[in-house]
Amino acid sequence: MQNDDIMSGETMLYMPEYDAYGNLCTRVIERDYQYISKLSPTKLMDYNLRYFGSSLRGAFDGSKMILGKLNKNPIVVHEGSDIVWFPSKSPLHPECIWLAVHHIEDYQVVDKKSTKIVFMNGKDIIVDLSVRSFEYRIQRAFLLKDKLEKRTKHLLVQHDRVKVYPRMASHSSKYEDKA
C-alpha cells in the first residue's frame, strides 16, 4: 500500500476498476488528482477507517445504532472533520462505488436507473443508481451527520491550553531522557 491510500478531505470517491490481470482495484478520485489503489473499494474504505481508529464493521454498527437497521447505511469516516461517505450498492458487491457527501454539488436524472453526480470541482460521474435511491442515501447521510453532532455536542470539553500543556510537557521530558 502507498501513502496515497490514506484518504484526505480532498478524496471524492472510490470507484471499482479491474486491472489487466482481473484483480478488483480502486480508482481513487480526489479533487485534483486520481490514481489506482491495489485494494478493492470496500477494503480500501476499511483500511482508511482502521487508519483513523475504527473499522468498516464499527462504522456500520455505529450508523445502525444512530439510524436504525438499513441497507447501505452511510458511515462516518472522521467525525471531527464531518467526513461522511455512502455506498452506491451493497459494500459486498464488487461494483460498489463509495461517495464522499461533502464533495457532492448536484445530481441529475440520466434515466430510471442512472444518476449523474456533479462534484464541487465540476467533475461528474454516472452511477447505476436511481435518482430516488440517490436522494434517499444523501438524506440518510445528512441525517447521520446531524444526529451524531447532536449526540456529541455535549462531549466537547473546553480547556485552558496554558494549564494543560505545560504539565504534559514536564512529564514528557522525564520519558525523553530515558529513551
If you ran DSSP here, which 8-state letter would residue 1 be given? -
Predicted confidence band of residue 169 (pLDDT cuts 50, 70, 90) = low
Task: From residue 4, give the alpha-carbon distance in Å to each of 24, 28, 80.
Answer: 18, 9, 21
Beta bridge partners of 30: 11
Q: How many residues does the chain have?
A: 179
Inform me whether the pLDDT recorded for 128 exceeds 80: yes
Higher pLDDT, 157 or 54: 54
pLDDT in the model for residue 159? 53
Predicted confidence band of residue 151 (pLDDT cuts 50, 70, 90) = confident
Amino acid found at 81 = S
pLDDT in the model for residue 69? 79
Inform me whether the pLDDT recorded for 10 exceeds 70: yes
Residue that the C-alpha cell 461528474 belongs to: 124
Higher pLDDT, 61 or 157: 61
Helix%, strand%, coil% for the chain, nearest 5 = 40, 25, 30
Cell numbers for 28, please give them.
481513487
Predicted confidence band of residue 46 (pLDDT cuts 50, 70, 90) = very high
pLDDT in the model for residue 54? 92
Tell me if 140 sits within 8 A of 86, measured CB to CB.
Answer: yes
SS3 (DSSP) at 115: strand
Provide the CA 110 distance to its chain's centre, in angstroms.
25
Amino acid found at 1 = M
Higher pLDDT, 148 or 20: 20
Higher pLDDT, 159 or 155: 155
Average pLDDT, the chain: 87
Predicted confidence band of residue 135 (pLDDT cuts 50, 70, 90) = very high
b/e code 108-134 from CB counts within 10 Å (16+ = b): eeeeeeebebebeeebebebebbbebb
Model confidence, pTM = 0.82
For a pLDDT cut of 70, what percent of the chain falls above it? 83
Inform me whether the pLDDT recorded for 164 exceeds 70: no
